[in-house]
Chains A and B, each alone.
Chain A
Amino acid sequence: GQQVMQIPQYQHVQEGEDFTTYCNSSTTLSNIQWYKQRPGGHPVFLIQLVKSGEVKKQKRLTFQFGEAKKNSSLHITATQTTDVGTYFCAGLGGGTSYGKLTFGQGTILTVHP
């Protein structure tokens, strides 16, 4: 079945440093979504990428979807303590798997002031 691998599992940075998390799918995805979960909270939607090679920006966050629609990345420029949390990617399958959303394992980001 569809698998989505996310790396790294943990990332510790000093405030002001950049951060990147990567997702790789075993199959071609219809789209990919990114979520952020604060400690003790629930996942909150950040963005969705649909097109091959798509790049979207939200202030200091940059999201990319690979040309083959099998990988994606989230890059945060100049991290702040408010960026702390777990970042998940989630891939939507196609064909007979349409409707099934597979999450990566998540990257836990710690930002040291």
Chain B
Amino acid sequence: EAQVTQNPRYLITVTGKKLTVTCSQNMNHEYMSWYRQDPGLGLRQIYYSMNVEVTDKGDVPEGYKVSRKEKRNFPLILESPSPNQTSLYFCASSEQVFETQYFGPGTRLLVL
């Protein structure tokens, strides 16, 4: 089944404790991206990747890191999480940037 998977789905952590949210797609898509969703603000793009080893900042990259070492995986890293990073995070992929984006199920993060 074609899908985008994210892990974990739910996470409660404390300020400053490094964490990684994994994202994997099995559709051989070139484009992958991360978004955060907050009430009243819609979806805001954190980082995107046009292809392996190519990543670029979205609108809200501060406090996040990503890597794209292989096509199927695009992990989101929070080196030192802070409470303002409490949010719902979505990973998405598409064949090309201008194609249909397929979203993962989301990761709900709470930083205390």
Q: Measuring CB to CB, which residues of chain A are less than 8 angstroms from any residue of chain B?
A: 1, 6, 9, 30-31, 33, 35, 42-45, 48, 50, 88, 90, 92, 98-106
Contact = CB atoms under 8 A, between A and B. Distances in A.
A42 B56 contact: no
Interface stretch (B12-20, B72-80, B102-110): B102-110
A48 B98 contact: yes
A88 B43 contact: yes
Interface string B84-109: 00000010100001111111111000
Interface in B2-60: 31, 33, 35, 40-45, 48, 50, 56, 58-59
A30 B98 contact: yes
Interface of B: 31, 33, 35, 40-45, 48, 50, 56, 58-59, 90, 92, 97-106
Contacts of A9: 40
Contacts of A100: 45, 48, 56, 58-59
B79 to A, nearest CB: 23
Given A6-B42, A42-B105, A43-B43, A102 B59 contact: yes
A112 to B, nearest CB: 22
A31 B59 contact: no
B50 A99 contact: yes
Contacts of A88: 42-43
Given A6-B42, A106-B42, A43 B97 contact: no
A21 B60 CA distance: 25
B49 to A, nearest CB: 9
15 contacts: A1-B59, A6-B42, A30-B98, A44-B103, A45-B100, A48-B98, A50-B98, A92-B97, A92-B98, A98-B97, A100-B45, A101-B58, A103-B42, A103-B45, A105-B41
